[in-house]
Amino acid sequence: MPIRRVLLLLGCAVAACVQCGCGGGVLGTGLHIGGGGAVRIVSPSKNVELRPKLVTKIYRHGDKNTADFYLSDLSEEQLLAWLRGTDTDASGNLIHIHMFLRPKAGRTPIDYTASNIAITHTVIAGGVYGIYGGGGFMLPSGKSGAKSMGGNVRDASLKFIRGSDGFVDLVEAAVFSGAISAKRDDELAQQIGTLIAAAGR
């Protein structure tokens, strides 16, 4: 039988199983991989909860309705190095939230059952990674274009999309909730977005 080890992701991320030549490990239920972060990713079916402690929190202004948020428990330097492929040992999370519509009372739904954001959550586990995607509703705080902007997300849906060779999904479907706040940095956000697209991640 193949020997597996459980990689607990640095800075709180999901777990991944990869084949190696060391002792095996098994994840039980009720796993909390945490760092006390304001963002929570919960898998009801697997009883797994992730709370990344975000240290990189930036956003890029699009127009009055749109903005792109990039959030990670990796530093800016670590994140860029992983995206460029120069750091294959990084472990953590990269969350991209694209707001495509700013809700406005009387014109658009202001309800957590509505949808105005798309979310991509990449779990990075050393040499492997998995991508989860979905959407939900964010009630923004601040205006797109300001020095800082944030919002509240409640029970947005995520599901496993794909992973690199060796990544084993232990979350399946999940819900994403939390309060986010980010500083405006169009240049860095554009750089991150370009690297993500170029790497196919």
pLDDT band at 113 (very low <50, low <70, confident <90, very high): confident
Nearest CA among 187, 182, 188, 194 for reference residue 69 = 182
Share of the chain above pLDDT 70, in %: 78
Question: Is residue 97 pLDDT above 70, yes or no?
Answer: yes
Q: What is the pLDDT of residue 196?
A: 93
For residue 64, the surrounding DSSP H or E stretch is none
- What pLDDT is stored for residue 111 in this prediction? 64
Q: What is the pTM of this model?
A: 0.82
40 within 8 A of 49, measured Cβ to Cβ:
yes
pLDDT at 18 over 90: no
Residues facing 148 on adjacent strands: 183
- % helix / strand / coil in the chain, to the nearest 5? 10, 45, 40
Over residues 50-69, the mean pLDDT reads 94
Report d(CA 73, CA 56) in Å as an integer. 6
pLDDT at 199: 79
CA atoms of 66 and 55, how far apart (whole Å) = 23
Residue type at position 173: A
Q: In this model, does residue 1 exceed pLDDT 60?
A: no
- Computed over every residue of the chain, the mean pLDDT equals 81
The Cα 73–Cα 75 span in angstroms is: 7
Q: Is the pLDDT of residue 125 over 50?
A: yes
